[in-house]
Structure 1
C-alpha cells in the first residue's frame, strides 16, 4: 500500500471541489514531481487527476503524473483517474498521446485487473483518435493467451468488441481482433462473451453495404447469440440481438406469429435493459451500444407493418400501407441496430425481395403504387424504386436451386450444407421451402440455447468437416449428429475431473488401465442418455473382427473403436496407429464412424484443451474410392490434480 504523502493530505483537506494542481503545488514543502508521482500511484489518484484538469498542468507535472499512474496498483482508482483525464478535452488534446504511450508500456507489467484497466484506457484513447491504432490492436491481440491471467482474459472480449465497433470494417485490423476472439471462444471462462462479440460483428457485416450474403451472416450471428444467451454474463444483450434477428428472419418467411413473438421479446428485453441502465453507471464510451439496441424495436415495428401490408388482400387506406412497405423497402439510417460504421442497405437487401415477391402479380395494389408514385407528395422518391422493381420481370437464378435455396433458406444451408440443401430445394416449391426454413432456423436457435459455447463450437467445427461425406445427409446425418453430440458431452465431462471424480481410469495408476475401462464407461454413458436402446458392445462379425461399440438405427449402424495410447499422443501418431482399423468397420454401412483413444501418456504440465481433443479424420483404404469419415476423440487419463503442478514447480525452483 502506498503511504500518504503531503499532496495526499492536501487533497483530503479540500472539502469542496478539488483545487487546481497549481494551487496545491504552491502549498507543498517537498519537491512537487515526487509528490505528484507518489499521489498518482495511490488511492487518491482520481482526486489528483481532477485537480490536474481544473487548470492545465505543465509538462513536468504531467510526466510525474504519468509515471505515478503507471505504478498504480488499484484497478478502481485507475479507472476513476482515467475517467477524470479523458473527460477533459484541455488535457487530452496536448497529452492524450503521451498518456496512451504510458498505458501501453504499463499493460505487460501490471497486475491482471490493473492491466485490464490500463488496456481499457489505451483503447478509449485510440478510439478517440489520441493513440496509435496499430499498437493498440497489437496490445489487444497477444500471441499466447495461455500465458495471461484469467482476470485479464475475462475483460478481453468486451475490449475487443469495442475495437471492432470502430475498426471492424478495416480488414487488416478486424482479422487480428476476430482471431483473438476465436481463441477466447475456445476457453470456457470467456466463451460466452466472445460468442456475443463475434455475433455482434456478424450483424455488423450483414448491415454493411456490399456484403455478399447478409442473411447467412445473420444466421451465423443468431447461433452465436444463442450460445451466449445460455450463459448469465451476457444473456441480456444476447437475447435482445437474438430476438431482433428472429424478427428479420420471420419477416423473410412471412411468419406473422414468429414476428409478433420476436416483437414481444424485444420489448421485454428493452424494458429489462432500461431498468438495468437506470440502476447502473454506463461509461460514455460504451453508451453507443446501449443506444443501438433500441434500433431493434424500430426495425421490428417497420417489419410488422410491412408484413401486414403485404399480406392484406385489399388496402382500404392506401397511404399508410404504402408508407409501411416503403419504410421496409428503403430502411433509413436510424435502423442500424449495431454500433460501428455500417450501411442500412445490407438489411434492406434482406427485406426487399420479400416485399417485391409478395406484391408481384397483385395488379390492383400495383396500380395503387403506380398512382402514388406519380403523386407530387414528398414520399415519391421512396416509391419509385419499389415500383420499378415490381415492373421488372425477375431473372432466373444463374445457378438454379443453389441461388434459390441460399436466398430463401439460409438456415437450411447452414444446417445441411449447400449440396444437400440444393437437393431438398429441388423437391419443394417456395412456400414449402420457407416452411422448412422456419423449422431449421428454430432448431438452430434451440440447440444453441442448450449448449455450452465451447461444446457448440466443437460441434459446429465437426459438422462442417463432415459436410463432404456423401452419406452425411438426411436421417443418417440426424442419427450421427446425435451420436456425436453425446460423445462430445461425454468427453467434456471426463475432461473435468471434478465431474468425473469416481472414474478411476482417469487418474495416475501403477498399472495403466486397459481400454476396456473407457469402452464400458462410454457404453454406459450412451445407454443412460437419449441413445438408450441403440447401443451394443463387443459386436462380432463386423468386417472380419469384433467392434467395440455399435450404435444402430435400423439399417444404419455406426461403429466406435476404443484404444489406449501410452507413448505418443499426437493426432498424427494416433491416426497412424488406429485409424485404419476404426475405418474398416464402416465398410458396409454409412461411411461414418468414431475412434476414442484413452491418452495415458504423461501430462507433467497440464492437459490439452477440450477443443484440441476432438477432430474429424478422413481415411481411404488403398485402392478404394470412398473416403471414411471418423470423429476422433482423445480422453485424457493419467492426470494428476491441478494442485500437483504448482507443488512440482515449487520443488523444481527451490528457495
Structure 2
C-alpha cells in the first residue's frame, strides 16, 4: 500500500498546476529518489509527470536520477486510471518522448508483468502508443500483444487486448510477418467470450483496410467478410455502436453494387440515425486523442453514402434535367477522395472505386446522351478534365463491362452468394439466371449473412459459421435441404451453449455428478423437448422405428426430407477420434435413404476434474463413407458435457504468495 509522502503534499499544494519538478524537489527534507519513486507509484503520479514535463518545457533538461526514479516508480503503479493519466502527461511532451521515449517503453513492457490485469492492459497500451510513434522495440511490442495462449489470460486483460491489436494492425497490419501474428491472435480472441465481440470488430476493420489495399485481388469479398464480423460485434457493449455504424456503411456499398435504391436509402437512414446516437453518446465524454480518428470515421461513411446515393440516382434517372449535376455525381463515385476512407491507418481510397466502377459502368452503357456529354466535357471543361478523362477511359474500355466467364460475372455481381453457397454451387445457379435475378439473389444472401451474424453471441456465431462452411462439400447441402438443416444446426448450437452454461441449466440434473450415471435417454428427451419448443415444433419425432436397420432416436422431418439424430453417452474417453470410432457408423447409417446429412449427440460423462472443453470444441463436422459405397455421409457431432462439478471445486488453497505472471491475475 503506497502512502502519501512529502512530495505528494507539495504536489497537492500546487492546486493541479505544478511547478517544475526541480523546484518541488528542492523543498524536500528527505531523500528525493525515494519520494519520487513512491509518488510515481501512487495516485498522484499524473501530477508528478506533469511537473516533470513542465521542468523540461521551462528549462530544457532534467536530472537523469530524477527521470530514472519516475520510470522505476511507474512500474509499480497499481491504479489503471492513474497510470493512463500519467501516460497522457508524458506522451504529450515532445521533449520528453524524444529524450526518454525508448526508456519509457522498456518501463511499460516491464510493467505489463504486474499481476493486476487491468493495470497490465494500461501498461500495454502505453508501450503500444510509444512503438506506434517510433519509440521502442516493435518486435517486443508485437510479442507482448500476441501471447502464446490467450485462453490462459485473465478475462479483464483479454477484454482490452483486441483494441490494442486493432491499433497495431492500423500501422503494421499489411506486413506479412507482424500482421500475420496480430491477425492470428485476433482470430483466437474471437473464441474467448470476454473478447469475442471486440475481436470481431477489430477483424472487420482490418478487412476493410485490406480491401483498400491496391494489391488486393478481391476487395468485395473482404467487405462481405468484414460485414459478417461487424454483425457479430454488435453484441459487444464497447464496440457495438461502432460496429453497427461500419455495418451500415458496408450495407450502402453493397446495395449500390446491386443497384438496390431502396436498400441504399435505408442504409443512409441507418447511418444518419447511428451518427446521431454516437454524437449523443460522445457528448461530455472523453476520448483519448490517439483513438480519435475512428470517432470521425462515421462522417466519412456518411459522405461516401451521399456520393453513392447521388451516383445511383444519376445512373437510373430516365430524364437528364441537369446534365452537369449528374456528371459530377458519377465522377464523385469514380474518383473517391482519400478523406472518404472510413478508418484510421494506411489505406488507398481507390479500392472503393474498384468495388463500385463496374456497377456504374454497366448502368451507364446504352445511355448515349450521357456518354456523349461525358466525352465532350472531358475535352471542353478545363477544371474537370482530369477526373472526367478517367471516367471516359473506363467507359470506353470493353473489359470494364464484359466478363470472361461465369465465375468473373458471379464474383462481381454476387460475392455474398459465393460466401454462402461456395463457388461451385453459386456458379451453377448463376449460369441459369440473368444479371437482374442474380442481383436479387445476392441481396437475399447478403441479408442472410448479416441477420445470422447479428442475432447471436460472437462465439456461437463463429461456431455456426465453421459448421456450415465444413458442410459445403456435401452435394445435398443446397436449396431447401440446406435451409432445413441450417435450422436444425442453429437450434443444436443454441442447445449446446445453454447446456454448457450451468447457470442457465441448473435444473438439468443429468449434467451433474450422479451415481449411477444418467442414461442417454435423459439427453434424448431433453434435446427433443428443446426442439419442440423452437422453430422446429411439429417436425420432431422420437424413437422412430424401421429406419435403416433399427430405431432412430430423434427424427426431424420436412416431408420427404428427413434428418436423424443419434444420441449416445460416453463414460471412458471424450477424445474426438474415439467418439467417432465408437458411434459414427450407426449415426451415418440412418442417412442412407434421405439427405446425406445427420447428427450425432453425445453425453460426455467422463471425468472433468481439471475443467471442461470450450464450447467451440463441442461441435464439429465429420464424414463417413460405408465400405462399398460411393457416397459420403456428413454428420454434425455435438458433445454435451455432463458429470460437471461446480467451478469452485477446481480451486485449491494457495501454499505460497502469487507470482507476477503477465496479465494472469493469479
What range describes the TM-score normalised by the shorter chain of this pair? over 0.9
C-alpha change, 1:652 and 1:401, in structure 2 (3 Å) is farther
Q: Could you give the per-residue CA deviations for residues 581-627 of structure 1, whole angstroms, max 9, x where no partner exists?
A: 11111111111111111000011122111001111111122232211
Q: Could you give the per-residue CA deviations for residues 329-378 of structure 1, whole angstroms, max 9, x where no partner exists?
A: 11121110111111011111011011100011221111111111111421
1:149-188 → structure 2 map (5 Å cutoff) = 149-188=154-193
Shift of 1:203: 1.2
Check whether the contact 2:374–2:388 (CA below 8 A) recurs between aligned residues.
yes
Shift of 1:395: 7.5
Q: Could you give the per-residue CA deviations for residues 545-576 of structure 1, whole angstroms, max 9, x where no partner exists?
A: 11111111111111111111111111111111
- State the structure with bigger RCO (CA 8 A, min sep 6), 1 or 2: 2
Check whether the contact 1:168–1:340 (CA below 8 A) recurs between aligned residues.
no
Q: Could you give the per-residue CA deviations for residues 83-139 of structure 1, whole angstroms, max 9, x where no partner exists?
A: 100000110101001000111112123411110110111111111111111111110
Alignment partner, residue 360 of structure 2 = 355
Q: 1:114 aligns with which of 119, 130, 136?
A: 119
C-alpha change, 1:369 and 1:288, in structure 2 (3 Å) is same
SS at match of 2:623: strand
Aligned mates of 2:248, 2:368 — CA distance in 1: 35
Aligned mates of 1:537, 1:439 — CA distance in 2: 34
With normalisation by structure 2, the TM-score equals 0.96
Check whether the contact 1:210–1:346 (CA below 8 A) recurs between aligned residues.
no
Aligned mates of 2:628, 2:515 — CA distance in 1: 44
Alignment partner, residue 235 of structure 2 = 230
Residues matched between the structures, number: 653
With normalisation by structure 1, the TM-score equals 0.97
C-alpha change, 1:16 and 1:569, in structure 2 (3 Å) is closer
Establish whether residue 145 from structure 1 lines up as the match of residue 179 from structure 2.
no
Establish whether residue 48 from structure 1 lines up as the match of residue 51 from structure 2.
no
Q: 1:206 aligns with which of 202, 211, 232?
A: 211
Aligned mates of 1:654, 1:20 — CA distance in 2: 40
Aligned mates of 1:442, 1:240 — CA distance in 2: 16
Aligned mates of 1:653, 1:69 — CA distance in 2: 26
Alignment partner, residue 650 of structure 1 = 653
1:396-475 → structure 2 map (5 Å cutoff) = 400-475=405-480
Shift of 1:15: 2.9
1:150-299 → structure 2 map (5 Å cutoff) = 150-299=155-304
Q: 2:537 aligns with which of 522, 529, 532?
A: 532
Shift of 1:274: 2.0
Aligned mates of 1:85, 1:605 — CA distance in 2: 45
Q: Could you give the per-residue CA deviations for residues 183-210 of structure 1, whole angstroms, max 9, x where no partner exists?
A: 1111222211111111111111112212
Alignment partner, residue 26 of structure 1 = 26
SS at match of 2:340: coil
Aligned mates of 1:175, 1:111 — CA distance in 2: 28
Structure 1: 5+ residue stretches without partners: none
Alignment partner, residue 11 of structure 2 = 11
Alignment partner, residue 62 of structure 1 = 67
Aligned mates of 1:559, 1:447 — CA distance in 2: 24
Aligned mates of 1:284, 1:654 — CA distance in 2: 39
Check whether the contact 2:361–2:400 (CA below 8 A) recurs between aligned residues.
no
Aligned mates of 2:395, 2:181 — CA distance in 1: 43
C-alpha change, 1:420 and 1:399, in structure 2 (3 Å) is farther
Shift of 1:436: 1.2
Aligned mates of 2:429, 2:458 — CA distance in 1: 29
Q: 2:493 aligns with which of 480, 488, 494?
A: 488
Check whether the contact 1:66–1:99 (CA below 8 A) recurs between aligned residues.
yes
Deviates more, 1:156-165 or 1:12-21: 12-21
Aligned mates of 1:392, 1:65 — CA distance in 2: 65
Check whether the contact 1:326–1:382 (CA below 8 A) recurs between aligned residues.
yes
Check whether the contact 2:358–2:401 (CA below 8 A) recurs between aligned residues.
no
SS at match of 1:598: strand
Alignment partner, residue 398 of structure 2 = 393
Root-mean-square deviation over aligned CA pairs: 1.6
Check whether the contact 1:614–1:633 (CA below 8 A) recurs between aligned residues.
yes
Alignment partner, residue 628 of structure 2 = 623
C-alpha change, 1:73 and 1:178, in structure 2 (3 Å) is same
Check whether the contact 2:163–2:198 (CA below 8 A) recurs between aligned residues.
yes
